[in-house]
Chain A
Amino acid sequence: MNHQVRMRKKNKFGRSESRTAYLMLLPSFLGVVIFLILPLLFVLYLSFTQWNFAKGFQGIEFNGIENYVRMLTDDRVKTSLANNLIYLLNVPITIVLAIFLGAALNKYVFFKKGVRVLYYLPFISSMVAVSMVFRNLFSEYGPVNEFLMNVLHISDPPKWFLSSAWVMPTIILIQVWHDLGNSTMILIAGMQGISKDLYEAAEVDGASGWQRLTKITIPLLTPYIFFLAIIGIMNSFKVYDVIKVLTNGGPGQSSNVLVYAVYHYGFKMYDMGYASAISVLVFAIILIVTAVQFAGQKKWVNY
């Protein structure tokens, strides 16, 4: 009898508990469906259509894989993809610099908290503001070129954002500058998890600072380095702000990237079907990187 009452009471709790749960979840869930899942499905669908936005929804025409075929021969898309791949260079550069900076900050530097904040400032600054500053620094008669001309006596310094050869390296430099503090901080978090005993034992065995870095710190940091690499690669394929503000993909097509191509076809030409197909390409790349992440976590990472 007593037992039955308790059972019934428990059931009642259970039912009201799930009702509360659904109520709590509902607003967020609706949002996820409306702003993430349906838009993703809609982009997938549009990528198989030809649609001039000006004609309204009646103007949507199914055209199979034509958009994807068109990408194969579209110079803008090919250049963009190539530039995204070049852009990936920012990832290893940032990580290598962050390892050294992190090692120095973590162990050797006085006032490390204050110094960390300095290195962190670029990361929280908007890319638009950062772009404004670098546009001036690297302008034709800006401080960088004046330094090159007057101090290093280079008579013909690069034109940076106006030169098709220099535009990508310069933008990569900006990205490295922007990300370095954050990557360093993540690695420092990892370094603080490494037991001090290891370093003491190594010291007793007469290992040099360099050996301690390469034989202890870096191997034990692989999960963090791997994480930074994955996030960095994803961000490299999503890059847009700095390109849009500084170069609009130019000069010519030399700094076009995929998301900028989405902007170009979608919001300038209103060719929504084709822009969607390029979006799907970007998404597919992100999915592949995510798959590598899942596989890699099991395999290469030295926990």
Chain B
Amino acid sequence: MTGKQKTFMIRIVITAVVLGLAVIFIFPFLWMISTSFKMEMDVFDFPIQLIPKTWNLENYKKVFADSNFLLFYRNSLFISVVSVAGNLVLSSTAAYAFARLKFRGSKGIFALYMITLMIPLQIVLLPKFILFQRIGLYDSYWALILPAMISPFATFFLRQTYLSIPMELSEAGLIDGASQWRIYWQLIMPLAKGSMVTVGILAFIDSWNDYMQPSILLRSVEKFTIPIGLEWFSTSNSSNYALIMAATVVSLVPILLIFILTQKYYIESIAASGIKG
């Protein structure tokens, strides 16, 4: 065997191993999907049958008919979309000011933003709960949306992008008589579109998957988001495994779709940012 053939063989073997491991690795997902189509009595059959004996669509029908899942979808969608839009507007204007405008206190305020990056959400939830109780926003979408619009991380990330765009571009705009707002909106921001999309996707996934904040700040079932709705649903159907798996699939589909459609941006952002988590 030549060296080339040998490397080729090694690659085939390793590919097979990694693929084999990948199947074990995603077994929980396979099991979830297969169980969601099973009859309840077949769920724990052994040997494990990933292809259901009888295909049963009742679970999905029940998830949409008996429960509030459509409502949960709507709530999650509203909260996530408005949060992300607000976050993009506020973070990108702040980032623009930090990166491309001169003003007194710029460095100090930016340092403050960097310090707030260290504050864990879990720690400030208790005072936020008290605040929202106080001002009457407890059990309202806005208790989730308003804080989610503020992201020192997004501000930092976008500032890096704005810094990488040559200053000459802004100067040319100024000479042509454009205001800074116009330069931001028509010249610079469009050049940062890639970063905006990245920040938007990260924020959307965070908001969609958030469990702790909605579980503390919302109380009415009709306002629940997908994650706490799923928990509520599983508590009220606790012994019905097939049904719960169907609900879990339903809860995961949108985020998996978004990920698959946007993975180009998402995977690029991992290398660039890393700070997520």
Contacts and interface: CB of A to CB of B under 8 A. Distances in A.
A27 B93 contact: yes
A210 interface: no
Contact of B28 (A20, A134, A263): A134
B244 interface: yes
A266 to B, nearest CB: 5
Contact of B104 (A18, A105, A146, A180): A18
B126 A266 contact: yes
Interface stretch (A73-81, A152-160, A276-284): A276-284
A24 interface: yes
Interface residues of B, number: 92
B65 interface: no
Interface stretch (B54-62, B191-199, B204-212): B204-212
Contact of B211 (A20, A108, A150, A241): A241
Given A28-B91, A127-B211, A267 B129 contact: yes
A36 B247 CA distance: 34
A64 interface: no
Nearest to B201: A124
A85 interface: no
B180 interface: yes
A260 B129 CA distance: 16
Contacts of B236: none
8 contacts: A104-B18, A110-B15, A117-B260, A120-B263, A136-B241, A185-B267, A186-B274, A283-B120
Chain B at the A interface: SS class: helix
Contacts of B98: 25
Contacts of A231: 274-275, 277
Contacts of B271: 185-186, 189, 192
B124 A121 contact: no
A282 B94 CA distance: 29
B178 to A, nearest CB: 12
Interface residues of A, number: 91
Interface in A101-156: 101, 104-105, 108-111, 115-122, 124-130, 132-134, 136-137, 139, 141-143, 146-147, 150
10 A-B pairs with least C-beta separation: A189-B271, A31-B150, A39-B127, A28-B94, A18-B103, A126-B209, A39-B124, A21-B101, A21-B103, A24-B93
Nearest to A188: B271
B131 interface: yes
A232 to B, nearest CB: 8
Given A35-B150, A132-B244, 12 more contacts: A21-B102, A27-B93, A28-B91, A115-B18, A128-B228, A128-B231, A136-B35, A139-B241, A141-B44, A244-B212, A263-B216, A266-B129
Interface stretch (A40-48, A161-169, A194-202, A213-221): A40-48
Interface string A47-65: 0000001000000000000
Interface of B: 10-12, 14-15, 17-19, 22, 25-26, 28-29, 31-32, 35, 43-44, 46-48, 90-91, 93-94, 96-98, 101-104, 106, 109, 112-113, 116, 118-120, 122-124, 126-131, 146-147, 149-150, 152, 155, 174, 179-181, 184, 205, 208-209, 211-212, 215-216, 226-228, 230-231, 234, 241, 244-245, 247-248, 251-252, 255-256, 259-260, 263, 267, 270-271, 274-277
A77 B270 CA distance: 35
B174 A43 contact: no
A275 interface: yes
A143 B28 CA distance: 10
A198 to B, nearest CB: 18
Given A119-B22, A136-B244, A124 B205 contact: yes
A41 to B, nearest CB: 9
Chain A at the B interface: SS class: helix
A36 B102 contact: no
A32 B260 CA distance: 32
Contacts of A95: none
Interface string A242-271: 001100000000000001001100110000
B73 to A, nearest CB: 14
Nearest to A103: B14
A43 B126 contact: yes
Contact of B90 (A27, A46, A126, A227): A27
B125 to A, nearest CB: 8
Contact of A115 (B22, B118, B227): B22
